[in-house]
Structure 1
Amino acid sequence: MFIKGQAVTLRSLDAEDAEVFYLWSQDREVTQFSVSSYAFPQAQSEICAWLNKVNQDRKSVMFGICCIKTGKLVGYTGLVSISQINRSAEYFILIGDKHYWGKGVATNVTQLVTAYAFRDLGLHRLELTAFVDNKAAIRAYENAGYQHEGIQRQAGFRHGGFYDKVQMSVLVTDDMPEQKPITLAATEVSQSGIEHKDDAISLSANLHDLSKEQDK
């Protein structure tokens, strides 16, 4: 399964991706704000085992983020703690390749996964947490339509101390912002929609259209 936008593709991950994940894990600048166990140094074999484990978890879904022009794996994203009863899940993203920071990739990917969660999985609510100092990530979530709910005091331990986290969420009934053009490989690409292949579902509407459908 993969979700294809105009500039990035979200695809399934497998054990062969462990080498790239391992390289990211060695860069403290990349993992300093990660809220998962991946934030700490691990052997490549441990990462391989972790990838196999999460792919078998029925309450989560994880995608690799790839640049369409090069096919290069530049990060990963997905949903965990998926609840069919509450129709909710927790969203996460990590851009491991620093060359793709500050280009709008995180916002665009967040919009793609949010649309997938609401339309394909039938979820009603997505939530996330981020360290309060992770300003770039918080801005990306805001641009993707996520709203602030509050502060989790001293909820994360890093570098010998406890730090606050911000909690954010988005509902399927919320008004969604339009997708903005992003620049990858010095080429501006307009994000006009979403194409979902390898299963029976096609997403042709953007998130703004999804919010309109809830009012009908």
Structure 2
Amino acid sequence: MCAPKPATHRLYPLGLLIALLPLFTIHLCLLLSFSENKLEWCNPYWLDCHSISATGRHGLAYFVFKGGMLTAMVLLALFWWINQWWLNNQTTKASVLIGWLGSLASLALVIYTLSLGHDGNIPYLLRRIGVISYLGLTFICQLLLSASLQRKAATQVQGRHLLMLSTLILVLALISLALDAALGAQYKRLENAIEWGLILLINLHALFIVAVWRKVDLRVTLRHQ
């Protein structure tokens, strides 16, 4: 009897889910909060609108936010381990850190998500630590991956584009810090818009990584015992 052939599956559909689920969750929660009159209608990418955390504090959005983001963070940890495995097969030295750092970033946002909707100094501190750690660690992972891809002939152009997007993310973060120092209390008017912009760019970076998966036809092989 012939042994069954190993089954191979393309990974980019999973990558699309991982990259889009956080964006879908926060925008859905914003619309739910609007529709339930928990928040006033506004454009989150403009002045004087709500923070991302505000979208998941009340009503149905509270449960959708937690369910969606906790699922997204489990998948995000898997995303970075897939990238580490992929780069390890290309003997890329920087990849040894990506899986671990990506898992820590996911854990940081899990802490943020679980503390959301609770009042007090400790939940506030957990949220701040969680979101700052997530943003910083995710940026490092994206930078390492982008630089690794740029060093490979087959993905050099895509790696360069990803590095440019990483630079844009860094510039926006630095502008945010400069405006905070320069504007003082007035900075609150645009702080939330910058936060939404950073999250959008970070998830777009993940989406572009998935586009590279598709280009190189990244697959996983399942073998029958």
Q: Structure 1 length normalisation: TM-score?
A: 0.28
Q: Which structure would you say has the larger Rg?
A: 2
Q: Structure 2 length normalisation: TM-score?
A: 0.28
Considering Cα pairs closer than 8 Å and 6+ residues apart, tell me whether 1 or 2 has the greater RCO: 2
Greater helix content? 2
